[in-house]
Structure 1
């Protein structure tokens, strides 16, 4: 996988906050009481189901922030497909530190691998069509950067990262602005030439009105397959077309076949099931 890792300066505050939440005011009282000081172990991170790995850098940080003496050797990097029972990484070092960081490491690794796996399933479903699968801003507060990274690991692409990336004029903006034209004209007067403007439409009539204003992209929200097909013909390459609204692995192929450029799916980040990964002992 050629996807570059996220910088540590982005990852470390997330992992540090998660560890602090778990350690509370007294640390890991169980491991400190049960495990002899200085005892070392070799453990493995192993897949318990088939999927795509994502989030190993966060897992590694979790262990190393507890004890720099923990060493993690990656056998299956981010982006790798693993099967049940396959070893993803080995973790060697002080037993207390490994047990203390275990849940935080697995929380990140299982969650992000679940997102990557879910994304890969939709990407595979639309293969052969021109549509790209993109995520949305429906992310876990504080985890947007890593969740969107996991989407990329799964073969998808990212929509805007926040409210400051681009202008997306939605139905409430249009209603409050007094219509599509005033909303678009005000938006265009307020931003620079590098900021794209996308407008959400629910009907083909709205789409016709929007196209007269030359947007960069149109969000075709909750349209039927027939409507999407007509919308693509109407747009005829004048703007990027994005289909959205309750799209599943089962419905994505028919939507992709309409010729839309993008298919945006919120559940990839807000509801994807985890990929079950465990930290196993004994030694290799």
Structure 2
């Protein structure tokens, strides 16, 4: 379970209500009692139900019904129902709806891609990149988890991932071993992953005993399959990650390459799941 702090909840609410809901105030309906219910308009995997529940709880509402993140619902299914004062219901309405639609859209695409990949390779892991909008990483990570996708790398402090942009500053690919082995910053508990962009560098790197994995960027499924075959005979413990341009349309071919992990940014381009909110007055 991903821990969402009260600070994040407060920021979500405060962004939409910087001072007060002047429409509810003008109409004088704030103290009226009511309920709000969220329903799916199309089939999808839900993410953000718990978050929406926390928003309404923070606003003083009582949660009457709430599905778990990761549940796949059919059209017309109830996601969340809460009761409270009209002021609170209207304050939480749009921020909860937007959050549910956006996160559930991501979770739905994640699950679709996982299902396609597992249809040809049950052991492969899908991982999402960190190409999210700034300040949204906790929320999109919640969506990935709901859809069955792992986080590839949540931040620069998590994994040593060496790109060509790093190699530019050490004098070239052939200097990687010298620089890593002479470094004073030993990553005892961190994996070291090297990204390669061609067959020559990839095959050479299979012999490196100072890295834990290879991230193959924009190589074809056939090229990756050949590298995996070489890996199995040269260095079976080395992790092989396939990355670069992998999406719902081609993930099946990449999963069949027998890489250990597929890294993708396609999840961020998911369409929001269509969800409706119904607010009703209760006497």
Q: TM-score, normalised by structure 1?
A: 0.90
**Is this contact kept in 2: 1:79–1:153, CA < 8 A?**
yes
1:225 lines up with 2:221 in the alignment: yes
- Mapped to 2, the partners of 1:192 and 1:248 lie a distance apart of 32
| Secondary structure of 1:59's aligned partner | helix
Aligned residues: 274
| Secondary structure of 2:252's aligned partner | helix
| Secondary structure of 1:126's aligned partner | helix
1:267 lines up with 2:266 in the alignment: yes
Q: Give the counterpart of 1:42 among 35, 48, 59.
A: 35
Q: CA deviation at 1:238?
A: 3.5
**Is this contact kept in 2: 1:35–1:95, CA < 8 A?**
no
1:140 is matched with which residue? Answer: 133
Report matched runs for 1:236-255 at 5 Å: 236=232, 237-255=236-254
The gaps in structure 2 that reach 5 residues or longer are: none
In structure 2, the CA distance between the partners of 1:113 and 1:211, relative to structure 1 (3 Å rule), is: same
Q: Give the counterpart of 2:76 among 76, 85, 88.
A: 85
**Is this contact kept in 1: 2:53–2:80, CA < 8 A?**
no
Which stretch has the larger CA shift, 30-39 or 223-232?
30-39
1:28 is matched with which residue? Answer: 21
- Mapped to 2, the partners of 1:224 and 1:166 lie a distance apart of 25
- Mapped to 1, the partners of 2:15 and 2:104 lie a distance apart of 22
| Secondary structure of 1:194's aligned partner | coil
In structure 2, the CA distance between the partners of 1:140 and 1:225, relative to structure 1 (3 Å rule), is: same
- Mapped to 1, the partners of 2:48 and 2:30 lie a distance apart of 29
- Mapped to 1, the partners of 2:65 and 2:238 lie a distance apart of 43
Across the aligned residues of Structure 1 and Structure 2, the Cα RMSD in angstroms comes to: 1.8
2:110 is matched with which residue? Answer: 119
Q: CA deviation at 1:172?
A: 0.9
1:191 is matched with which residue? Answer: 186
Q: CA deviation at 1:224?
A: 1.0
